[in-house]
Amino acid sequence: MRPARLVILRHRGAASDAPTLAIVGKGVTFDSGGLSLKPTDGMLTMKCDMAGAATMLGALRAIALLKLKVNVLGLCGLVENMTGPAAMKLGDVLHARNGKTIEVHNTDAEGRLVLADALIWACKHESPASIVDLATLTGGVVTALGSTFAGLFCEDDALRGRLEQAMATSGERWWRLPMDQEYRDMMKSPVADILNSNPNRKAHPIQGAAFLSYFVEPKVPWAHIDIAGVHA
């Protein structure tokens, strides 16, 4: 298994004191499911589980080629999710760099752990004006929206408005899904701060977004886009 890496890219097209947009991508280069092993058919396409990171790289390349006068930070966590002596175990409690503890209930919910690390890093070290993350995060969003719309989670009206303008310009499509406090409460653990996956599987794409919300500073406008159904 290859070691994990955090890739950091910067486009400095504006003044140093101008606002910075952070784009965070999930980069699981192969996802076996870990000890929560995927079935063969479900594993065949898992070299594509880095599509969020690939989307971030594509966006940064386009921004650079167009010489846009904006400041953009690109982050992606690159990992493989494999079995082996170093694999996570169900019941493990992980300590995130922002102090949150996470009980592992499903090793196949690994992408959100990778994103959490990058989101914390962005908030702590970069103070971005806003964050957009992209990830092939859940099969549940494919069940809900198929391959027509991505799932959008964004509680900030201004950021959501800018994303809607981008959608109209680009032709990409997403559908806003809710993320109330009840969903965040679903992620609480009796032995840690939160679970990485609630075993009841209710509202599974919203679970993923609710989990990530624990790793973004409340003052930072943030959007999560689950592209599991539309990345191909």
- For 168-217, the pLDDT digits (tens) are 999 999 999 999 999 999 999 999 999 999 999 899 999 999 999 999 99
Task: Give 37's DSSP letter.
Answer: P
Residues annotated as part of the active site? 38, 112
The CA distance from 8 to 125, in Å, is 12
Please check whether residue 110 is in contact with residue 28, taking contact to mean a CB–CB distance below 8 angstroms.
Answer: yes
The CA distance from 176 to 19, in Å, is 25
The 10 Å Cβ neighbour count of residue 160 is: 16
Please check whether residue 201 is in contact with residue 116, taking contact to mean a CB–CB distance below 8 angstroms.
Answer: no
**pLDDT (tens digit, 9 = 90+) per residue, 43-95?**
999 999 999 999 999 999 999 999 999 999 999 999 999 999 989 999 999 99
Q: Give pTM, 2 decimals.
A: 0.96
Cβ neighbours of residue 190 closer than 8 Å, sequence gap 6 or more = none
Q: Please provide the average confidence, as pLDDT, over all residues in the chain.
A: 96
